[in-house]
Structures are given as structure tokens and as C-alpha cells.
């Protein structure tokens, strides 16, 4: 029987004295500024320096690590390989995950069409920069290699042209910069968002940038506008050529470039065809905006819009309604959709590890300094290599004097380790030369071989002299850079993709064109509620809904493009447009005008006036029997003012404010039952809005004008006994006179 083990006794836990844990449990106060400096600032700098912003070679660290990995994989001259293989190899330098690495590759690929000069020669679906929804295929399906232009990025990278640093696990080395032979920083677009700052570098035409760089090396005062016409985007489009804006971008690195999509009109299909769009937008964003504007009734000319993008490239088709002017419609589309957009330049670039906003001039000068150092280091590298070779050949030349002696020294030396010292003594050469001689094969110890090897000594000396002169001459180095830039233009230069349009091509925006043109009826209640009703809704309505005790005081048939003027008891005139109000139904209460137009406290509406061209007159009738006639164009303003003060005189109480489009017959009635009818042609119009008017009705003591109204010709004829031929007039007794509004033929 197995022996049962005794249960173990609970061991006592050894208590660590508090003295062993320094400061345990204590709370130390610290300034938030110190915390930010210790914790947040390192993070912010890491984002800016190690991730978000490009350096003077034109690349962010993620770009550089990917391209260098592909270069080391032999993909510059070899065939394509699966993108997944490249992503896996890149993780040796970039440990941020395969998804981020593949996204970086997609943006650099030719298939994505983001870059003006793609660095990755791709095969498969890499998505499209101009589409938000057209995503790329997974990395296991696509293939890639380096594009031919990458030969210019890695030119002489093995000749100590740039510094190398260990990767994150110290297993291999990677370059801090790429020795690009052209200013790639300005050739391909680059956008980055850091902490508290951002970078947005647009692309320029390769040939133009290289020519500008050459010109600046020859003449630092060169005007870049002569050779650099403006940004050149991979998606084409048209750029507004504005020298003032371009000069600002070239000098400061900041400015806004206006872009718009070129279009074609298909007369047969009555459609607008768009094949290029601004680099700042996408096909989906444009189509969604067009649909939204059509639904809002602001683009009634468009009947249908669709994305016809296919293997031939981007295509947006906009079908128009019959009778629509395609050019005017396109101008509206430019104003109302991203078919015209703005690229905001912010050339924030890392220089020696610090972010700096620079203009084109300063960027190119910094690149020239960078490239000058690369060429100098390459020259020094070649100089050292040739000097080493010359040194060896000079040792070999001395052996030429007595080959037999060299053979004898080697043969008669008993210890192998003594061969080199004996050769050094025998021929007065140093250890490196002696080591080289000792390694020569026996078959090469003949006069012919040695003469062949040593005949280049004079040529080497000449080359070394030239290299020394070049290394010490900035002029010669710049000449080499110019030669390389010309070679780049010859190999990779291409015509501009982005064209130009000019200020003279811009059609001034006519606000009226953007307002739908249709008829409607507006209603105003006595307490200030406003309704805008379409004819079909009005026909179906039974009665107008109003608050208890309220009633409709004005009803006017108007056009949606008309302007409305609201005259108030405080002698203010509030202006707005019929289009500013939404269509409603008779069963709705409507908009409360004092709140909608922000009336002052205590203001009430005297009248509402509708106009399109500000023709006609306003008649202001006062209790003292005076009437002021003011042209309506006195209330017209060039600026879009919403409120005009001093719309009429406040020296006496106003009875009525009436709009007439032409002279009419008007009747005034007083509190002592008198009435007078007169032709408004008897009133002379006054330029001043605050005129007190002219006397029309002579009143007895304590009598005031109580009512004023415009009469129809028929009504005026029926009441002709009250008509006067001159003013002022006392009028006739009207004790039993009915309300003229109730009279009928």
C-alpha cells in the first residue's frame, strides 16, 4: 500500500522590510510641464522624425526601408516576386506590421497611380488613388519589383555616399538617406501628419525640376518661374496659372493651388465626360456631391450621373436634361462640387533631423548641398580605391626589375611567415605591397603579366590627380551633378500631365444661376408667420393654418429668385430671398419672420414687398395726412446687406407702407369720416428714404388718417366723387362709405 504523504505545512512568507523599497507608496507631485517634457515630447519627436515627414532625399523611413529591402533582394534588375515576400523581408528593417508595409508599397506602385514617377513596377490589383472604394488585392496575389528609375536612387550607394546605421535589432545595416541623383523630394507627392504639424508636398514635373536645379547651380538668382511652370500631378487635371500664388509657394513653401477637372461634351448623348479629377478628391466624393445637389434642387440641369471607370481609366459621365447649356452647367459643377478643388501646399521637410517649412528655392538649395556631399564622398571613395591599387602596382613594378630575385627570396625562405618580411627587405616595399606580391600565382611570375599590370600606373596617377582636384572643387562637383541631372531628363523625362487654365477662363459666379427658377405663392400672417407654397400644394390645400386669433394679411405670387423686403415699425428694412425659405404646406404654421430675420425686440412687420429688379415705388402714409413716395431702388445695395436702418421717417406714426409698380389711384380715410382719392402721379419721388412726404389730406383738429389703400380702376370709377385733381384736399364726407375691398362691379 502506498504511503500517504503528509500534507506540507504552510510556509511563512518572508516580509520584505519597507526600507528595501525606496519611496514605496508615496505620491510625488510633479509639474505637468515636466511630465509632458519627459513623456509626451519624445513621442511627438519620434512621430515627426521617424514616421510622418519626408527627408531631403524625398522619402519617409517606411519608404526608404521598403525600397532598400527590394534593392538588396535584387529586384532592381531581377524579375517580379510576390508582394508578400517583399513585405516579409522588409520586416527585418520595419517592425510595424505587414499591413502598414504593404500599404506603403501600394502607394509607391505604378498600378495605384499616386506618384508621378512610381518607384515600384507592379502587377495585379493595387487599387486606384482616385477611388475611395477601389481597394488593392492582398499581398499574396500581387507581384512587384523596382522600377527602372530606382537605379537613380541607389546609384553608388555602396561607395560610402551616405551613412549606414544598424537596424532595430543590430542584425544588419540600413541607409539613413538614399543618394538620389535627382530632387525626388519635389518630383513625387508626399503627405504626412505628425504631432501638432503636418506636411503636404505636391509633385512637379521631373524635367522641369532638374532644369531648375541646373539653372540654380549656375545662377543662384535664377527665377524658378522661367523653368518650373507649376506643380504636375499624376492624375492630370488643370491648374490655375497664377504667378503670384506660385511665387509664394516657391518662396515660402505655403500656398493654395486651384485645380479643376477638364471635360468633354458628348453632343450625341447630351453628356459631360470627365476623365481627370483634382488630386485632392475621389470619384465617389464627386458623384455623392452631385447627387446631393440634385436632390437639394440646386442642379436641376443634371438628369443622371454615373461612374464609367473601366480598364481604360477614370471616367465620370454626367447626363444633362434637354435644352441645358453644357458649359454653364459645368461652371455650376465647378462651384458646387469637388470637380474644382484646392491643393494646400505645406512643404514641411526634415533637414538634419529637424522639421522645417521651406520653399522650392530653399529645398533645391538644400538638395544641392546634400547631393554635393554625396558626390564628394563618392569621389573620395574612388580616390582611396585607386590610390590603394596604385600603391600595389608600384610594389609590383619594383619586382619587375628582378623577377628571379623575388622567386629566389620566396624559394630560399624556410618559414612561410618570413616570406613577406624578406620581400619587404629585398625590394624596399611595405607590408601591403609585399603581401600582394606574395599572393601572385607562380604562373603569373613572368615579365608579360607584370608589364600588363603595371602599364596602367601612369593612367592611375592621372585619374587620382583628377579625383583629388574634383574632391576639392565645388565647381567640378556641381558640373558632375548637372551632367547627372541632364542624363536623368534624357532617360526619364516626360511631358506635363497637368495643364493650365487662366483667370480669363474663369466665369464669374452668377448667384442667380444657382437658385432654382420656379413660381410659388408666399403668405404672411398678421402676427408674422410666413409660408412658401408651390402651386400644386396650393391647389390641394383646403385652408391656411394659423394661430388662434391670427389671420393671413398678405398673399403674393412670386418667383423663387425674387427678393423679399420686410418693413418694420422701427423703420428698418430686412432683406432676404424667397429661395432662403423651404417649401411648406398650407397645413403648416410656417416660419416666424421676427425670429428668422433676427428682428429687434418689439419690432412688428408693417408690410412685405416682393421684387426682382427693384423697380417701382414705396408709398409711406402717415397719420398727419402726409404721404412719402420713395423709389424702391433706394433699398438696393451692392453688398449683400441683410438689414437697412432708416427705411422711412419716424417723425409721425405710420399708417401704411404700400408698394406700387406704377402710378395708381389711392384712397385715404380719416377718423372724422372723410375720404380722398388721388393719383399717385401727383407725388414727386424723393431720393431720401426718411423724407416726411407731402401733404395729401387736409385734416381738422384731432383728426388722423386711419386707412390707406390702392384702388382698382373699376373701384376708383365707382367712387369718383371723392377724387381730387390737386393735393392737399379735404375730401368728401364718407360716413356711409363701405370698405372698398368689399365693393364689386
CB 401 within 8 A of CB 184: no
Cα(369)–Cα(478) distance, integer angstroms: 10
Closest among 334, 287, 327 to 309, alpha carbons compared: 287
Cα(122)–Cα(145) distance, integer angstroms: 7
The residue assigned the cell 530606382 is: 150
**Mean pLDDT of the region 305-326:** 92
Cα(403)–Cα(401) distance, integer angstroms: 7
- What is the average pLDDT value for the chain, to the nearest integer? 88
CB 298 within 8 A of CB 336: yes
**Mean pLDDT of the region 724-740:** 78
What pLDDT sits at residue 131? Answer: 92
Among 13-27, 142-156, 320-334, 649-663, the least confident range: 13-27
Do the strands 120-123 and 143-146 form a parallel or antiparallel pair, or are they unpaired? antiparallel
Greater confidence (564 vs 5) lies with: 564
Query: Does residue 5 have a pLDDT over 50?
Result: no
CB 663 within 8 A of CB 618: no
Helices H, strands E: what count in the chain?
21, 33
Which region holds residue 225: left if phi is over 0, alpha if psi is between -120 and 50, else beta? alpha
What pLDDT sits at residue 638? Answer: 79
Task: Write the DSSP assignment of 116-172 as a string of letters.
Answer: SS-SEEEES----TT-SS-PPPPTTT-EEEE-GGGGGTSTTTTTT-S-EEE-TTSSS
* Structural element, H or E, at residue 341: strand 340-346
Cα(308)–Cα(311) distance, integer angstroms: 10
Query: Does residue 10 have a pLDDT over 60?
Result: no
Query: Does residue 25 have a pLDDT over 80?
Result: no
Helices (H), 430-550: 431-438, 447-454, 457-471, 474-492, 511-514, 535-540
What pLDDT sits at residue 8? Answer: 47
Cα(40)–Cα(46) distance, integer angstroms: 10
Model confidence pTM above 0.75: no
Band of pLDDT at residue 360, cut at 50, 70 and 90: very high
**Mean pLDDT of the region 500-528:** 79
Closest among 184, 203, 208 to 129, alpha carbons compared: 203
Q: Would you tell me how many other CB atoms lie within 10 Å of the CB of residue 243?
A: 10
Among 147-161, 164-178, 366-380, 720-734, the least confident range: 720-734
Q: What are the catalytic residues? A: 141
**Mean pLDDT of the region 271-276:** 95
Cβ neighbours of residue 376 under 8 Å, at least 6 residues apart? 471, 477
Closest among 176, 104, 98 to 140, alpha carbons compared: 98
Cβ neighbours of residue 242 under 8 Å, at least 6 residues apart? 258, 503
Strand segments, DSSP code E, in 352-419 are 354-357
Band of pLDDT at residue 449, cut at 50, 70 and 90: confident
Task: Write the DSSP assignment of 49-61 as a string of letters.
Answer: IIIIS-BTTS--H
What pLDDT sits at residue 609? Answer: 94
pLDDT tens per residue across span 419-443: 888 888 888 888 898 888 888 877 7
Amino acid at each position: 500500500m502506498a504511503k500517504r504523504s503528509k500534507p506540507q505545512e504552510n510556509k511563512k512568507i518572508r516580509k520584505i522590510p519597507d526600507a528595501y523599497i525606496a519611496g514605496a507608496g508615496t505620491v510625488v507631485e510633479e509639474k505637468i510641464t515636466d511630465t509632458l517634457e519627459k513623456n509626451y515630447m519624445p513621442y511627438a519627436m519620434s512621430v515627426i522624425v521617424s514616421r510622418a515627414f519626408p527627408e531631403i532625399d524625398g522619402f519617409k523611413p517606411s519608404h526608404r526601408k521598403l525600397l532598400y529591402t527590394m534593392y538588396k533582394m535584387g529586384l532592381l534588375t531581377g524579375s517580379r516576386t510576390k508582394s508578400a515576400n517583399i513585405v516579409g523581408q522588409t520586416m527585418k528593417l520595419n517592425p510595424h506590421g505587414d499591413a502598414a508595409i504593404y500599404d506603403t508599397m501600394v502607394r509607391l506602385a505604378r498600378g495605384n497611380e499616386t506618384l508621378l514617377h512610381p518607384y515600384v513596377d507592379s502587377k495585379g490589383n493595387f487599387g486606384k488613388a482616385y477611388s475611395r472604394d477601389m481597394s488593392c488585392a492582398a499581398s499574396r496575389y500581387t507581384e512587384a519589383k523596382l522600377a527602372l528609375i530606382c537605379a537613380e536612387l541607389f546609384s553608388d550607394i555602396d561607395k560610402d555616399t551616405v551613412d549606414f546605421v544598424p537596424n532595430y535589432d543590430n542584425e544588419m545595416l540600413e541607409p539613413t538617406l538614399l543618394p538620389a541623383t535627382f530632387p525626388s523630394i519635389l518630383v513625387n507627392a508626399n503627405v504626412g501628419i505628425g504631432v501638432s504639424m503636418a506636411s503636404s508636398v505636391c509633385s512637379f514635373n521631373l524635367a522641369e525640376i532638374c532644369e531648375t536645379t541646373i539653372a540654380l547651380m549656375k545662377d543662384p538668382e535664377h527665377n524658378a518661374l522661367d523653368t518650373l511652370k507649376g506643380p504636375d500631378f499624376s492624375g492630370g487635371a488643370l491648374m490655375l496659372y497664377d504667378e503670384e500664388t506660385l511665387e509664394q509657394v516657391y518662396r515660402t513653401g505655403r500656398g493654395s493651388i486651384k485645380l479643376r477637372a477638364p471635360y468633354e461634351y458628348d453632343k450625341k448623348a447630351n453628356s459631360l465626360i470627365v476623365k481627370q479629377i483634382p488630386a485632392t478628391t475621389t470619384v465617389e466624393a464627386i458623384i455623392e456631391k452631385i447627387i446631393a445637389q440634385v436632390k437639394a434642387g440646386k442642379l436641376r440641369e443634371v438628369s443622371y450621373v454615373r461612374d464609367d471607370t473601366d480598364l481604360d481609366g477614370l471616367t465620370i459621365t454626367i447626363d444633362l436634361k434637354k435644352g441645358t447649356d453644357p458649359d454653364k452647367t459645368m461652371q455650376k459643377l465647378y462651384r458646387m462640387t469637388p470637380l474644382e478643388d484646392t491643393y494646400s501646399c505645406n512643404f514641411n521637410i526634415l533637414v538634419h533631423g529637424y522639421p522645417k517649412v521651406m520653399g522650392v528655392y530653399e529645398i533645391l538649395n538644400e538638395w544641392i548641398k546634400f547631393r554635393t556631399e554625396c558626390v564628394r564622398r563618392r569621389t573620395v571613395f574612388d580616390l582611396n580605391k585607386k590610390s590603394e591599387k596604385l600603391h600595389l602596382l608600384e610594389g609590383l613594378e619594383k619586382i619587375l626589375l628582378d623577377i628571379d630575385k623575388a622567386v629566389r627570396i620566396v624559394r630560399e625562405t624556410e618559414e612561410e611567415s618570413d616570406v613577406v618580411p624578406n620581400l619587404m627587405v629585398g625590394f624596399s616595399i611595405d607590408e601591403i605591397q609585399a603581401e600582394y606580391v606574395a599572393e601572385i600565382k607562380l604562373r603569373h611570375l613572368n615579365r608579360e603579366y607584370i608589364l600588363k599590370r603595371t602599364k596602367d600606373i601612369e593612367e592611375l596617377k592621372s585619374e587620382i590627380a583628377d579625383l583629388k582636384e574634383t574632391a576639392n572643387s565645388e565647381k567640378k562637383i556641381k558640373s558632375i551633378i548637372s551632367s547627372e541631372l541632364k542624363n536623368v531628363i534624357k532617360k526619364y523625362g516626360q511631358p506635363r500631365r497637368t495643364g493650365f487654365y487662366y483667370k480669363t477662363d474663369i466665369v464669374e459666379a452668377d448667384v442667380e444661376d444657382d437658385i432654382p427658377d420656379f413660381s410659388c405663392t408666399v403668405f404672411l400672417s398678421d402676427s408674422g408667420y410666413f409660408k412658401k407654397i408651390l402651386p400644386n400644394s396650393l391647389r390641394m390645400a383646403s385652408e391656411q393654418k394659423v394661430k388662434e386669433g391670427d389671420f393671413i394679411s398678405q398673399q403674393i405670387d412670386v418667383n423663387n429668385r425674387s427678393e423679399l423686403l420686410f418693413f418694420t415699425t422701427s423703420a428698418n428694412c430686412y432683406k432676404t430671398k424667397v429661395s432662403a425659405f423651404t417649401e411648406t404646406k398650407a397645413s403648416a404654421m410656417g416660419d416666424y419672420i421676427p425670429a428668422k430675420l433676427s428682428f429687434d425686440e418689439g419690432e412688428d412687420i408693417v408690410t412685405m414687398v416682393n421684387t426682382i429688379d427693384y423697380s417701382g415705388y414705396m408709398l409711406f402714409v402717415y397719420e398727419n395726412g402726409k404721404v412719402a413716395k420713395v423709389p424702391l431702388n433706394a433699398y438696393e445695395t451692392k453688398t449683400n446687406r441683410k438689414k437697412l436702418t432708416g427705411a422711412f421717417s419716424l417723425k409721425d406714426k405710420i399708417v401704411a407702407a404700400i408698394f406700387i409698380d406704377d402710378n395708381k389711384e389711392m384712397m385715404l380715410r380719416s377718423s372724422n369720416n372723410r375720404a380722398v382719392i388721388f393719383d399717385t402721379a401727383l407725388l414727386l419721388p424723393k431720393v431720401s428714404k426718411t423724407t416726411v412726404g407731402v401733404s395729401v389730406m387736409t385734416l381738422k383738429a384731432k383728426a388722423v388718417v386711419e386707412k390707406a389703400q390702392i384702388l382698382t380702376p373699376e373701384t376708383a370709377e365707382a367712387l369718383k366723387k371723392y377724387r381730387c385733381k390737386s393735393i392737399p384736399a379735404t375730401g368728401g364726407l364718407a360716413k356711409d362709405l363701405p370698405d372698398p375691398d368689399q365693393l364689386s362691379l
